[in-house]
Amino acid sequence: MILASIEDYRTLARKRLPHFLFEYIDGGAFSETTLRNNQRDLQHIALRQRVLRDVSNITTTTRLFGQEFKLPLGLSPVGIAGLNARRGEVQAAQAAEAAGVPFCLSTVSACSIDEVRAGVNHPVWFQLYMIRDRGFLHEMLNRAKAAGTSTLLFTVDMPVPATRYRDMRSGLSSGHLWQRKLTRVGQVLRRPRWAWDVGLMGRPHSLGNIAPILGEQAGIDEFWAWLGNNFDPRVTWADIDRIRSEWDGHFVIKGILDAEDARQAKSIGCDGLIVSNHGGRQLDGALSSIKALPAIADAVGNDLSLILDSGIRSGLDIVRALALGARMVMIGRPWVYALAARQKKGVEEILDIFARELRVAMALSGCTRLEDITPAILAS
């Protein structure tokens, strides 16, 4: 199979993963309207094609949160992504480091922050939820600091988990406990390659950062139970403000879709915002991230660095997002598809695809630097 685009890696991931894992990655909330709109709305943004300009020397480097990156692209935090390949988050972090882009580890990763940090030369970004167990939250802040993390992404769009029909149907989150277990075992047996690489050789399956709470033998069912019990619907801006005061590094709020919320985030002294609808996995019917971006960019001006995630599938999408006010984009599903399809090599390959497509899109729209990508390159 020739792997030319992100969709090709998605197809291969579907063939290689147990059904419940693929559906967890690929699915969204309820009818998945927002999930579909994230990509559709990006594709409807037209660019001005410019010709006869010297585009022989294109630069894609950028500087954000005190670091220089080779691309305006990062790897978003994705829960239990490490189950998609052997010690998967470590492999993905290594691929990101080799490509000169940031990798952000999820609170609910399969590999712990200590394991991931030991596998790379430089600290990674870390994502945290506001959860009921404040002791665990503060412990994770301290562990992130000890691992040298300087950029914290705080996710705010998940006070309660949304209903995801695909997870219910796949045996991941609905039905009697033993029914779910037997369903998943049957799916694993139909994927012997994954069963060997991840199921057997990828042990221990200790749910990384939350293993100290759940125990080393806890599995997916215990994970879901803990997760459901620990999201905190009482969280307010005052709680986020307190966390900000405890973190002396760069503080980025993830999950902003509304200009008023963006202004509130600015008032507590965060360094950046991630314009995101959780990949269409939370409020179905919410704006696509790219539709929400212009109003948020107007609301915060140049005071905060804006990052966009949800729906990015090509280098062309990166140009579209930057033209509407983002400084960087982040990808979630694409890197997990690639990890499942071809492990670390797959992640390296899709990062190369994004880089090549970005350069082509810049050249054909007459841009040689990221600073040239402004609203002026958009077709009316």
Q: How far apart are alpha carbons 119 and 117 in whole angstroms?
A: 5
- Residue partners of 283: CB distance under 8 A and separation at least 6: 29, 34, 157, 162, 277
**Of 331, 318, 305, 330, which is closest to residue 373 (Cα–Cα)?**
318
Residue 222 tokens, joined: 């215990």
- Residue partners of 114: CB distance under 8 A and separation at least 6: 143, 147
Residue 284 tokens, joined: 């179905």
Catalytic residue among 19, 205, 250, 278: 278
Q: Which long-range contacts (CB under 8 A, 24 or more apart) does 130-135 make?
A: 130/154, 130/156, 130/232, 130/235, 130/239, 130/240, 130/243, 131/230, 131/231, 131/232, 132/229, 132/230, 132/231, 132/232, 133/213, 133/230
Question: Is-contact 336 84, C-beta < 8 A?
Answer: yes
Q: How far is CA 118 from CA 6, 105, 169, in A?
A: 29, 13, 37
Residue 165 tokens, joined: 């029909």
Tokens 């002791």 belong to 135
Q: How far apart are alpha carbons 170 and 48 in whole angstroms?
A: 44
Q: How far apart are alpha carbons 102 and 70 in whole angstroms?
A: 10
Q: How far apart are alpha carbons 77 and 86 in whole angstroms?
A: 17
Q: How far apart are alpha carbons 106 and 113 in whole angstroms?
A: 9
Q: How far apart are alpha carbons 351 and 338 in whole angstroms?
A: 10
**Of 367, 337, 377, which is closest to residue 353 (Cα–Cα)?**
337
Whether 250 is a known active-site residue: answer: no
Question: Active-site residue numbers?
Answer: 278
